[in-house]
A and B are shown apart, each in its own frame.
Chain A
Amino acid sequence: MNGKHVIASIAFVSLILSAGPAAANEAPSPPMFLAEVLLLPVMMLLTFLGGGYLVLRAKGYKRLRLLWIPAVLAVMVSVGFELISLFVAFAFGMIALARAGTMVVWVMQAAIGERPAYLASVRPLRMFAASAALLLATVLLWGLFVASWGWSGWSTDLQSDLAEEHVRDFVAYQLAYAEEHKGEAGKPRFAKLGVGQDFNGHPRSTPTEVEYAEDGRGFTIHVLVSKSVPFWPYNYIFRQRAYRADESGQIRMIRVSSSKQRCPPDGPVVWKVTQEEIAHARSSMESRANEPPYPFNLIDSTVEPAPQP
């Protein structure tokens, strides 16, 4: 493969697989394919910069001029079949690792003892740096691929939409309940609600924690990220939303990179539960009075206000 073929391959694959800023009215290609597309060009670039092609040529290896065609075809096919992309990325990664290993062997042969003739052009430090960079780049791109493979397609649907609906519904139900159940001196009193089910009675997959004030006049709900946060360092690319809300009706949100992180009390307010949402929750509570009280089970409404001084 010569330089023109490489550039043509990159251009062609880029054209087919990726595209640029296009705000929906903007654009990036998925990192999954980015990793797949970059693996071989990065290997070739680092082999070139490390002087590896001179060694291959000196060893009498022939260039396979049409080798880029199956590589491009493999990437194209994997676009439509994600399982195939797993094998393609694995194969490309193995080829890159093998090249990095081969260059390390050449460096050792060139540095130790008498140099074979085909290693005459090798500058050990440069080739070692190139092979180390290739090793690192392969591991990082593989990691990006794996993190993207397990992640694409459902993060926002699961994490943003459902978690967000969950916290909005919960706060609306609490405020509606408190309006109906005034405690001592007309102050609102909140109920302990179960948070483990959705509107259809199915278990919710978003981890939720609720804390209630002892006097029943306040609560704090945390909706945490799912347990499927990608591994380091990719968790910083695929950060997820964590929510926090309380009896003020304000919903706060931050992006977190760990399933243990919580939104702090001074996190940015992204929403305030509206009167329409509270009214909707109230009518839903009334209409479901004799049914299982989805989406939130009333666990305990007997929290009595603390005695007033």
Chain B
Amino acid sequence: MSSPEVNTAQWSPWKMAATGLCVMALFGAFLSWPLVRFTEEEIYITACPEYVEVTGYYIYQNPFPFPVVQGFSIPFPVDRDHPEPLAVHVVRTDKGERAIPVVELFGTCRFDLRFAANETIPLRVRYCQYAPTREARYILTTTQPWGRPMSKAKYRLYPKKVTITDSNYPLDPREGGALGFERRDFMPEADWAFAWEVP
């Protein structure tokens, strides 16, 4: 980028602009590459007549023998019928429970985790979302940017005074009155959408 031997005074503005863009694109590429690994998740969703409560447990692993800081954002399925979630809490669940400060940037909830060398960090993310149309979605396809499948994934749906009527992933009865499914080496190609009715 900055070799002093190059006489930039001879460069055209287009060449200069292209150089600048290339440098920024290179930097952007570094910024958009996840360092740690996303290995497992367990998702517990309670479907209530007019809202859903989502609790997700996530495992992240730093594969490097040196410390890194990884930024995260929480993707929420927001559209006309599904407003912004409330009560967003992020907690680190190892070494006791420690709340992770969440900052909203450009309308997205974001947080950072500092990983020691080769450290594994479990996280819990909770939120509630108003769902007056009695259907909701949990975003799974954001696993793809991680570049590798989750080794283990577990999904549970707890109906609370409602009856589950639809799900794009087949659901089987599970413990505690839940419906759910599990996957291994899971690289989701579709989000999990489900619907319910109030009897």
Bound complex: CA of A309 vs CA of B132, how far in Å? 37
Bound complex: CA of A58 vs CA of B67, how far in Å? 42
What is the total of A-B residue contacts with beta carbons within 8 Å? 222
Asked whether B50 lies within 8 Å of A272 as measured between CB atoms, the reply is yes
Interface residues on B, range: 35 or more
CB contacts (< 8 Å) of A151 on chain B: these are 103
Question: Of all chain A residues, which has the CB nearest B145?
Answer: A21
What distance in Å separates the Cβ of B34 from its nearest Cβ neighbour in chain A?
4
CB contacts (< 8 Å) of B1 on chain A: these are 3, 6-7, 41, 44-45, 48
What distance in Å separates the Cβ of B118 from its nearest Cβ neighbour in chain A?
15
List CB contacts (< 8 Å) of A23-61 with chain B: 23-31, 33-34, 38, 41, 44-45, 47-51, 53-54, 56-57
Asked whether B71 lies within 8 Å of A152 as measured between CB atoms, the reply is no
CB contacts (< 8 Å) of B101 on chain A: these are 152-154, 156-157
Asked whether B19 lies within 8 Å of A49 as measured between CB atoms, the reply is yes
CB contacts (< 8 Å) of A241 on chain B: these are 104
Asked whether A2 lies within 8 Å of B31 as measured between CB atoms, the reply is no
CB contacts (< 8 Å) of B3 on chain A: these are 2-3, 48, 53
Chain A contact residue count (CB 8 A cutoff): 72
CB contacts (< 8 Å) of B84 on chain A: these are 253, 268, 270
**B interface: dominant SS:** mixed
Which of A89-97, A121-129, A214-222 faces chain B?
A121-129
**A19, A31, A38 — which one has the most chain B CB atoms within 10 A of its CB?**
A19
**A18, A22, A29, A53 — which one has the most chain B CB atoms within 10 A of its CB?**
A22
What distance in Å separates the Cβ of B48 from its nearest Cβ neighbour in chain A?
7
CB contacts (< 8 Å) of B9 on chain A: these are 51, 54, 121-123, 126
> Is residue B107 contacting chain A, with contact meaning CB distance below 8 A?
yes
Report which B residues bind A (CB closer than 8 A).
Answer: 1-9, 11, 16, 19-20, 23, 26-27, 30-36, 38, 41, 48, 50-51, 56, 58, 60, 66-75, 83-84, 86-90, 99, 101-107, 109-112, 114, 123, 125, 128, 130, 132, 139-140, 142-143, 145-146
The 5 closest A-B CB pairs, nearest first, are A23-B142, A14-B30, A20-B32, A53-B4, A27-B71
Task: List 16 extra interface pairs beyond A10-B30, A26-B145, CB under 8 A.
Answer: A2-B2, A15-B30, A18-B30, A20-B32, A20-B33, A23-B142, A24-B123, A26-B74, A28-B110, A44-B1, A47-B2, A48-B4, A49-B19, A79-B69, A121-B9, A122-B9
